[in-house]
């Protein structure tokens, strides 16, 4: 690599840059089986906003902030207001932001000391990650947040900082904070790093305060305005999803530690660790230390919240570009001889081969949840059929509170609590039957007290055979309960006493929709039922 003339190296760098962009498009485009169910929660809020009902989950009920992605939801609503279908708009925007994130990853690698070819390698390394395949076009805000985060970090790693760049950083990070709350944390980490650097450089307090105000003022104005609006609209300082998902418990933190450990193993242990070991290399040392500071604390935050049950480490996607840029920049510095001699350059090539092996290993062990396309089609069919058989004022209760309520167009009790104020605030129980990473709350008796006309169990709402053909559908419900609320409902004597099982043939799909109907509710009355 060191003997390659400059012109040839530039040609290879451009070719790899183009390849990285192709991969950034092709991997999610060809690899995404189905959108995420949570995406339809945002679509539901956006639909209600466009209809003039506000950002609410259930029209006519007390507003609950059951989304964690305000700016993404508003962006989807803007598209819907222009007549766009969110089912293609969400994935399309995700793909665009994923490509932008790849480009910004390459720019970050350059500012961290990478040569052009290694900067392109960082882009390719990011594009090939399994999490890109699953989540870039999943309909959620992850790619948008990642791109905004990178846009906010880039002005902070310039060798010569400017007031204009600092203001831009504050605006980009404010947009990131409105897309996901973790943006506030990253802004705070950057400000702490700046304060520490100013103290080491013996910068005067007035000079530091003036520079800090330049960065912080746009951020505080934008984020502060949204915070006040949230308090006035929802009566809380944080999203309802924070209460639903975050709990302080040693068991939860151990799950988070396992989650981050698995992510590091999948990304490549040496790729993550090497930038720490090579931090002493002189070029862009401060910028690399800043990025390591962000990735380290971000990982600790994910440990604290307990990770996520979805495959391929969605919560860590925002720092995957930093890992990629740091790894490739460190290798580039060693390979260019900054670390010393031909041995170091050979080590750089070996490190590149290791990155390819780590990507292959990550894909080989990734859990892609096979059959998601069929499952997606089944749940859409369930939602549309419910829209036909339910009365306009009927309530449903569902664990999967995205696709089915969106297409059923009925008020819904979110049994995982993301959009339910009560369930979000019950005590988390990591040992409860049906507990999932990030979903440790439920209240089956509360759901039964609400007396919804229909209760839907995630694993039973669409099956090849009618559940009514089973001799003991209650026993089946107990075995197949997916969440804490479902498990508690299935175990309650009230469930058998107050509800009956009903199966309806799905339209345009093989199989049946199975629902638990409150006795006396005229749901699908012409169809045969069995108690």
Confidence (pLDDT) at 360: 73
What's the angle, vertex CA 429, arms to CA 426 and CA 430, rounded to 5?
145
Q: Which of these, 210, 214, 271, 38, lies nearest to 141 by C-alpha position?
A: 38
In the prediction, which pLDDT does 371 show? 72
pLDDT digits (tens, 9 = 90+) for 67-78: 999 999 999 999
CA 64/CA 58 separation, integer angstroms: 9
* Residue 149, SS3 per DSSP: helix
**Residue 530: its pLDDT value, please?**
38
Is 430 buried (19+), middle (13-18) or exposed (0-12) by CB count in 10 A? middle
Give the C-alpha separation, 369 to 384, whole Å.
24
pLDDT at 6 exceeding the cut of 90: no
Average pLDDT over residues 316-326: 91
**Longest distance between any two alpha carbons in the chain, whole Å:** 82
Confidence of residue 529 (pLDDT cuts 50, 70, 90): very low
Q: Residue 313: which region, alpha, beta or left (left: phi > 0; alpha: psi -120 to 50)?
A: left
Distance CA 168, CA 156 (A): 10
Instruction: Specify the range with the lowest mean pLDDT, choosing from 100-104, 158-162, 331-335, 361-365.
Output: 361-365
Residue 250, both tokens: 């040693």
Smallest CA-to-CA distance from 470 within 396, 531, 406, 418 is with: 531
Phi, psi of 261, deg, nearest 5:
-60, -45
Give 528's pLDDT tier (boundaries 50, 70, 90). Answer: very low
Contact, 440 vs 427, CB < 8 A? no
- Read off the pTM: 0.89
Residue 514: its H or E element: strand 512-518
Tokens standing for 454? 């229909």
Instruction: Give the mean model confidence (pLDDT) for residues 507-528.
Output: 76
Three-state secondary-structure class, residue 147: helix
According to DSSP, the residues that pair with 398 across neighbouring strands are 414, 456
**Whole-number percent of the chain with pLDDT over 90:** 44
Contact at 8 Å (CB) between 105 and 123?
yes
* 242 token code pair: 């924070």
Please provide residue 438's backbone torsions phi and psi, each rounded to the nearest 5 degrees: 85, -5
Closest CA to 474 of 519, 530, 399, 394: 530
| Residue 490 exposure: Cα atoms within 13 Å on the Cβ side | 24
Q: Is 318 helix (H, G, I), strand (E, B) or coil?
A: helix
| Residue 179 host element (H or E) | helix 163-179
- Residues paired with residue 501 on neighbouring β-strands, in sequence order: 516, 530
Alpha-helical regions (H) of 201-284:
205-234, 240-245, 250-267, 269-277
Instruction: Give the residue from 98, 121, 493, 124 showing the smallest Cα distance to 317.
Output: 98
190 contact partners, CB below 8 Å, separation of at least 6: 152, 153, 156, 169, 173, 290, 294
Angle in degrees, 0-180, between the axes of helices 320-335 and 86-111, rounded to the nearest 10: 30
Residue count of the chain, please give it.
531
> pLDDT tens across 486-511, in order?
999 999 999 999 999 999 998 888 88
pLDDT at residue 146 in the model: 96
State the DSSP string of 425-485: TSPP-TTSTT-BTTB----HHHHHHH--SEEE-TTTSEESS-GGGSS-HHHHHHHH--SHH
Q: Nearest Cα to 457, choosing from 465, 449, 467?
A: 467
Helix H, strand E, coil C: the string for 49-117 is HHCCCCCCCCCCCCCCCCCCCHHHHHHHHHHHHCCCCHHHHHHHHHHHHHHHHHHHHHHHHHHCCCCHH
């Amino acid at each position: 690599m060191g003997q390659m003339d400059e012109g040839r190296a530039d040609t290879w760098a451009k070719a790899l840059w183009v390849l990285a962009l192709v991969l950034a498009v092709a991997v999610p485009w060809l690899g995404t089986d189905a959108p995420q169910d949570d995406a339809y929660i945002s679509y539901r809020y956006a639909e209600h906003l466009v209809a003039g009902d506000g950002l609410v989950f259930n029209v006519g009920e007390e507003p609950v902030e059951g989304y964690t992605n305000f700016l993404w939801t508003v962006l989807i609503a803007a598209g819907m207001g222009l007549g766009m279908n969110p089912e293609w708009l969400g994935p399309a925007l995700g793909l665009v932001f994923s490509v932008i994130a790849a480009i910004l990853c390459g720019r970050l690698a350059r500012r961290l000391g990478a040569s052009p070819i290694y900067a392109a390698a960082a882009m390719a390394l990011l594009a090939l990650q399994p999490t890109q395949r699953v989540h870039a076009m999943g309909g959620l805000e992850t790619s948008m947040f990642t791109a905004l985060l990178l846009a906010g970090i880039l002005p902070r790693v310039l060798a010569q900082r400017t007031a204009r760049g600092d203001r831009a950083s504050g605006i980009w990070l404010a947009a990131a904070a409105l897309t996901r709350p973790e943006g506030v944390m990253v802004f705070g980490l950057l400000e702490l790093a700046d304060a520490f650097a100013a103290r080491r450089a013996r910068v005067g307090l007035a000079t530091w305060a003036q520079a800090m105000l330049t960065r912080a003022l746009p951020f505080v104005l934008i984020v502060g305005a949204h915070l006040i609006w949230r308090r006035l609209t929802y009566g809380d300082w944080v999203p309802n999803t924070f209460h639903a998902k975050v709990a302080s418990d040693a068991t939860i933190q151990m799950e988070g530690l396992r989650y981050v450990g698995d992510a590091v193993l999948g990304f490549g242990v040496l790729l993550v660790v090497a930038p720490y070991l090579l931090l002493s290399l002189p070029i862009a040392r401060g910028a690399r230390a800043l990025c390591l500071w962000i990735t380290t604390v971000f990982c600790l935050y994910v440990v604290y919240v307990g990770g996520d049950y979805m495959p391929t480490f969605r919560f860590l996607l925002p720092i995957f570009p930093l890992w990629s840029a740091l790894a490739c920049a460190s290798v580039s510095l060693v390979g260019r001889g900054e670390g010393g001699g031909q041995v170091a350059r050979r080590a750089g090539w070996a490190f590149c081969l290791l990155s390819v092996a780590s990507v292959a290993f990550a894909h080989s062990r990734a859990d892609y949840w096979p059959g998601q396309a069929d499952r997606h089609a089944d749940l859409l069919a369930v939602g549309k059929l419910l829209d036909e058989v339910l009365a306009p004022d009927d309530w449903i209760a569902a664990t999967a509170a995205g696709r089915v309520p969106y297409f059923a167009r009925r008020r819904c009790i979110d049994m995982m609590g993301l959009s339910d104020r009560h369930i979000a605030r019950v005590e988390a129980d990591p040992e409860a039957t049906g507990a999932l990473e990030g979903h440790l709350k439920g209240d089956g008796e509360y759901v039964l007290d609400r007396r919804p006309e229909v209760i839907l169990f995630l694993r039973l709402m669409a099956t090849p055979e009618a559940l009514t053909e089973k001799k003991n559908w209650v026993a089946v419900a107990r075995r197949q309960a997916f969440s804490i609320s479902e498990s508690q409902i299935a175990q309650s004597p009230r469930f058998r006493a107050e509800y009956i099982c009903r199966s309806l043939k799905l339209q345009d799909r093989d199989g049946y929709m199975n629902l638990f109907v409150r006795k006396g509710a005229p749901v699908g009355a012409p169809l045969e039922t069995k108690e």
